[in-house]
Amino acid sequence: MLIWFFIKIMKYRIDNLQYCNWSRLIFEINREANLDAVHVTIVYHEDYDELILEIEKWEKLFKENSDLILMGRNFEDIQKAHQEKKTAIFFGFQNCSPIEDDINLVEKVHELGCRFMQLTYNNQSLLATGCYEKIDSGITNFGRETIKEMNRVGIVVDMSHSAEKSTFDAIDISEKPIAITHANPSFWHPAKRNKSKDLLKTLSESGGMLGLSLYPHHLKNNTSCTLENFCEMAARTAEFMNVKNIGIGSDLCLEQPDSVVEWMRNGTWSKSKNFGEGSKNKPGFPKQPDWFKDARGFENLENGLKKIGFSEDETNGILGNNWFNFYKNI
């Protein structure tokens, strides 16, 4: 009976997307926020060899901060992190570049710890169409084979930066639920990266997860977005998505220099500057809202979601338990 009660009241806190300039300070902030797991972006446009270099950096971080973080490979590592008061770190790619044009590398990157991979980052890739392209041709032949292989080895298909037809295709092709780890509904704010109501409804019906984003360019009124407005959006989203398919993917980019966002937007494929959802006048990282400057803002989210009408169980689901249940089926 005591075990049942313990499980019943368990509150996981999971942020399913951060891309920070990682340091002990940020790991301490995530622990202060009681985050049990964080899905971290470790590559954007890097190839396989460059991925290996990034993993070597993370091996050093794990060694130097073993009292704060551990490597996550499955849901049991989230349980372990919770018990040990640490944060499980799950590797993810915001592009498919590390697998290059070799299907065999999908299994290799899984062995290295990858658990989420976007099929595109804004532009057309070998697998699918990005949300910045004018023509969305959908999932390619290589993309179909890659999704099949990702399903087999246990890497989640992430369509956060992909175009709409490609995302519908991915939901249809994948035998496992996919994720949109960091985005918001476009009815609330029509950013290129935000998603339509029809798409999110289909995502939910297929068992997929949406991570609501706290990145200012994805928010109504940008940095000036209020906590109440954000939580109202979450409530409206729960009217057409099952609340159990909604979580948080903050897209926090703490302590990153503006040169990094330029790299994210342009990679090595462009000589002309692409400002993404920024502008020539404001090309750098936008300022976070005051109520979510870093992961410690989860406390504000908890209060705001309850105030707007979510029950305690629903609030705990959005703030972590829903992602935890999703991880069980990766």
For the segment 24-62, what is each residue's pLDDT rounded down to a tens digit? 999 999 999 999 999 999 999 999 999 999 999 999 999
pLDDT at 4: 47
pLDDT at 267: 75
C-alpha distances in Å from residue 227, one per residue of 14, 258, 290: 19, 26, 9
Positions of the chain with pLDDT lower than 70, given as ranges? 1-9, 263-264, 269, 273-276, 278-283
Task: Give residues with Cβ within 8 angstroms of 183, minimum separation 6.
Answer: 160, 193, 194, 195, 210, 211, 212, 213, 218, 249
CATH topology of domain 12-327: TIM Barrel (3.20.20)
- Cite the DSSP H helix spans in the chain: 2-8, 24-32, 48-64, 75-84, 105-111, 141-153, 164-173, 197-205, 227-237, 258-266, 298-308, 312-316, 322-327
pLDDT at 281: 66
pLDDT at 8: 54
pLDDT at 278: 62
Strands 209-212 and 246-248, by their bridges, are parallel
Q: Is the pTM of this model over 0.85?
A: yes
Identify the CA nearest to 117 among candidates 46, 63, 193, 62. 46
Annotated domain spans of the chain: 12-327
